[in-house]
Structures are given as structure tokens and as C-alpha cells.
Amino acid sequence: MLVQAHYCEWLDERGYHGTDWFPHDVKVREAGASGARTRFETLVLLGRKPALVPDETRMDGINAGRKTIPLARFDKKRTAQGVECLRSYRTEWDEKARAFKQTPAHNWASHGADGWRYLSISWRAPMREPEPEEKPAGVALPYLTMDQFMEIEDSFSKRPDRT
């Protein structure tokens, strides 16, 4: 938890207070001092707002990454390593099948490229229309006052008989 706390403080100091997007493995339980909490739960306890990257196929994510590149502006110095990861991310040639493999090569460029893929999938998510808030069908009986209960009873007695 100390490592997560350090990075959460780092983000707070720089004014990053929005949604923090994470891949599915943020739901993995961590054994140890945190009492087998998930990373997601730890982030919430540290005051962050974690969210899961929408679940897309790897190829959909790669295509989203390709479409996002022309919309992005890269700081030459600060993003040099990330840009090099994107340039080096590629599939492997399968000599036996004489075709490219279906999955990209897992090498030093994978993590940076995966980060870009996750960003490309999730950056539009906040722009989606909010889903309508569902209103409960009624009030739970234990929370009703006697007057409220009697009003409900009166409304039933005024309905036409449906038999």
C-alpha cells in the first residue's frame, strides 16, 4: 500500500483529481499487509476515483490507438520513451506458418503500447451519455411513517375493483 500511497500523493500534488482508468487486473486481490484487498479497493481508500477501462478486444484497442494518434500532441522530450514503444509495437512473424501471429510480440514495448491502447479505449468513455437514473419502485416498509402507510392504504381503496 505504500507504493500506491506514494503515487496517489504524486497525482494529488499535481492536481490530477479525475477518474483514474485501469485495466481489468486492478481487481486482483493482493495478499499482504493490505488484508487481501484488491488494488481497486486500495485506490478508493486512498481517495482516488478508479474506473475499469471498457472491455474491448485487443484488435479493437489497437485500432482505437491508431485512430487516436492523429488527434494527440506529443511533448518530444517527455514522451520519447512512449513514442518509441508505439513505434516498436508489432506482431511477430511465424516462420512455420509463414504468416504473422494473431497477437503482438510481448517485449519491452508492450507495456507502453498497452498503456496507449487503454488510454485510446477510455478517453471517450466520459463523453458517453449518462444512463438514466433508475428510481426505486417505492419506499421500503421499515422506512415509512404510519401516516405514509395510511396514505398508501387510502390510495388502494380508491382504485376501481379489477375483479
Q: Which helix (H) or strand (E) holds 49?
A: strand 49-52
Within 8 A by CB and 6+ apart from 110, the residues are: 85, 89, 104
Between CA 48 and CA 16 the distance in angstroms is 10
What pLDDT is recorded for position 74?
Answer: 93
CA 1/CA 35 separation, integer angstroms: 10
Continuous segment of H or E residues that includes residue 100: strand 99-104
Mean pLDDT confidence for 63-78: 93
What is the per-residue pLDDT across 79-122, written as a single tens digit (0 to 9) for each? 999 999 999 999 888 899 999 888 888 999 999 999 999 999 99
Q: Which residues pair with 100 in a beta bridge?
A: 93
**Assigned C-alpha cell, 94:** 511465424
**Furthest CA-CA distance within the chain:** 80
- Domains of the chain, residue spans: 1-52, 55-126
Name the pairing type of β-strands 49-52 and 99-104. unpaired
State the pTM of this model.
0.65
